[in-house]
Amino acid sequence: MKFKSVFDIIGPVMIGPSSSHTAGAARIGRVARDLFGRQPDWAKVHLYGSFAETYKGHSTDVAIIGGLLDYDTFDERIKTSFEEAKNAGMTFEFIPETGHVDHPNTARIVIGDKDSEMSMMGISIGGGKIEITELNGFPLRLSGNHPAILVVHEDRSGCIANVANCLYKYDINIGHMEVSRKERGHMALMVIEVDQNVDKEVMEDLRKLPNITQVTRIAD
Amino acid sequence: MEALFRNVRELVERAEKEEKLISEIMIEQEMLMTDRSREDIMIQMDRNLTVMEEAVEKGLKGVHSVSGLTGGDAVLLQKYRDTGNALSGDLLLDAVSKAVATNEVNAAMGTICATPTAGSAGVVPGTLFAVQNKLNPTREQMIRYLFTAGAFGFVVANNASISGAAGGCQAEVGSAAGMASAAIIEMAGGTPQQCSEAFAITMKNMLGLVCDPVAGLVEVPCVKRNAMGAANAVVAADMALAGVTSRIPCDEVIGAMFEIGQSMPSALRETAKGGLAATPTGKWLESKIFGGAVVGSGQ
């Protein structure tokens, strides 16, 4: 079932006007910030499909910047997020694209600071629900509705078992998991949706495992 | 996790067999699927109800959207209702004005609760706060109204669609109206089966509704469609309470809605390329709001 909670139907509480174009957009921005791990210094946001055509009227742009500032869908500050971003020293740019994408409400968010850069593609699938479909060139499927861990690792045997064992040790149940790699033996990515939030201790243990490059957590 | 119900038939059967309200089955399913306590779930829905109350209150004072396309109609409707000369009856007009109030707040970037989406957020609260005056429900019954509505929306979302881009406006305002109608039945003391009949009757009358937002914005015709969704819900609820049934079972009506959505051309599914959005005035409004070349004559 795509929808598991009644609050996907009666909710979210949000700033109008559109659950797909505003609330979904804010969530896409916020997940990007979560994945980046901090507030970026700059953002380049590519908008596709209906996002590209109606983003000004639906305040999709304002909502995405709000998300990058860590605002939830109901945060009143979404309305003034452009000013808040400027005050926080974050520069941003919106680029409406004409290219074809699979989903009508798609955004590619490229963010960065002096230390690193990140690119993420998100789609708004209706009613404020979103999916993350690509991270730094890796295709993936992440709903953003459950706590999740992203593990960047070297493509070696045993990596996945080690991570699963570590989660088992802390009694953390895996709800959904995807593994992808760019090329055999090189960089790979695990996307693990779990049932409860993962605390720091678990994150530290995961980082200590062999061949693990980076571990990021997305809280619910 | 195995759900308690996957369609309306299972939902109604379960409620009848266990002699429970539809809202109770939804609460139990939420506890099962999300592993949260009843108290937690009730508190969250109470908060959603408060958001709805505040939005209606704000809308009835008068709001206007940034584009200027919508706003102020809820005030007009309430003033007209106060004259006592309304043709369609006091409760119906109250529901309509409160649905409009909510959607005007939504268009003006106010805080609302998506029910099931932001563009269709007016119907369920609009009807709820109108029947409230008639039925004098407790706070818990008002919260239960939202769970009953949610139970039906849950079935539509999982078996068809609640998105205008996927299924047209029948999937958004159509679903919202059906949800509201079923919730009215429970609050009015009707049976779970009557909830199902009311949903089916409402949805049948929203079938084929296209999503053709002018300038692509959730304003025109969305606000007025919420008004009509609310009216449809109230009338269908009365029909079901009178004992009228739907000849086509509820789940099959939902299936038909999905089929219609699938066969609808993309111009009529939120792309603003057809219907009212493509009228001369629709195009003119679009160019006025977003700039660019004026296509179509307009005013």
Mutation pick from B10, B36, B117 vs chain A, by most beta carbons of A within 10 Å, is B117
Judge whether B295 lies within some domain.
Answer: no
Contact B165, B269 (CB under 8 A): yes
User: Domain A12-142 is in which class?
Assistant: alpha beta
Quick one: pLDDT at residue B206? Answer: 98
- Write the CB contacts of B94 (distance below 8 Å, at least 6 apart in sequence): B81, B129, B130, B133
ipTM for the assembly:
0.95
A195 CA: distance to closest CA in chain B (Å): 9
Average pLDDT over residues B275-299: 78
The continuous run of DSSP H or E covering A194 comes out as strand A187-194
Contact B165, B212 (CB under 8 A): no
For chain A, percent helix, then strand, then coil, each to nearest 5? Answer: 30, 35, 35
Conformational region of residue A85, where left means phi above 0, alpha means psi within -120 to 50, and beta covers everything else: alpha
Q: Which residue has the tokens 């059967």?
A: B13
pLDDT bracket for residue B68 (50, 70, 90) = very high
Amino acid (1-letter code) at residue B292: G
Quick one: pLDDT at residue A12? Answer: 93
β-pair partners for A131: A123
| DSSP codes of every residue in B77-99 | HHHHHHTT--TT-HHHHHHHHHH
Query: CA-CA distance, B101 to B77, in Å (whole number)?
Result: 10
Do the chains contact at B115 and A9, CB–CB below 8 Å?
Answer: yes
Query: CA-CA distance, B114 to A9, in Å (whole number)?
Result: 7
Quick one: pLDDT at residue A89? Answer: 96
Kindly tell me if the per-residue pLDDT of A115 is higher than 60: yes
- The residue ranges of every structural domain in chain A are 12-142, 148-218
Quick one: pLDDT at residue B134? Answer: 97
Do the chains contact at B110 and A20, CB–CB below 8 Å?
Answer: no
The CATH number for B106's domain is 1.10.4100
Percentage, residues of chain A above pLDDT 90 = 65
Which two tokens mark A10?
């009666």
Average pLDDT over residues B56-68: 96
Do the chains contact at A16 and B109, CB–CB below 8 Å?
Answer: yes
Quick one: pLDDT at residue A2? Answer: 78
- pLDDT digits 0-9 by tens, B81-121: 999 999 999 999 999 999 999 999 999 999 999 999 999 99
Kindly tell me if the per-residue pLDDT of B296 is higher than 50: no
β-pair partners for A121: A108, A134
Judge whether B297 lies within some domain.
Answer: no
Q: Which residue has the tokens 């111009």?
A: B267
* Nearest residue to B120 via CA among B215, B200, B233: B233
Which two tokens mark B212?
């053709």
Query: CA-CA distance, B284 to A142, in Å (whole number)?
Result: 40
pLDDT bracket for residue B3 (50, 70, 90) = confident
Total count of domains within chain B: 1
* Nearest residue to B49 via CA among B167, B34, B57, A44: B57
Kindly tell me if the per-residue pLDDT of A144 is higher than 70: no
Judge whether B215 lies within some domain.
Answer: yes
Judge whether B81 lies within some domain.
Answer: yes
- pLDDT digits 0-9 by tens, A46-84: 999 889 988 998 999 999 999 999 999 999 999 999 999
* Nearest residue to A14 via CA among A62, A47, A53: A62
- Phi then psi for residue B57, to 5 deg, are -60, -45
Contact B162, A9 (CB under 8 A): yes
- A14 CB neighbours in chain B (<8 A) are 111-114, 118
* Nearest residue to B23 via CA among B33, B32, B12, B34: B12
Do the chains contact at B45 and A10, CB–CB below 8 Å?
Answer: yes
Which two tokens mark B182?
């079923």
pTM: 0.90
Kindly tell me if the per-residue pLDDT of A1 is higher than 90: no
pLDDT bracket for residue B298 (50, 70, 90) = very low
Record: fold of A148-218: Alpha-Beta Plaits (3.30.70)
Percentage, residues of chain B above pLDDT 90 = 91
B209 versus A175: the higher-pLDDT residue is B209
* Nearest residue to A197 via CA among A175, A180, A178: A175
Domain extent for B211? 8-285
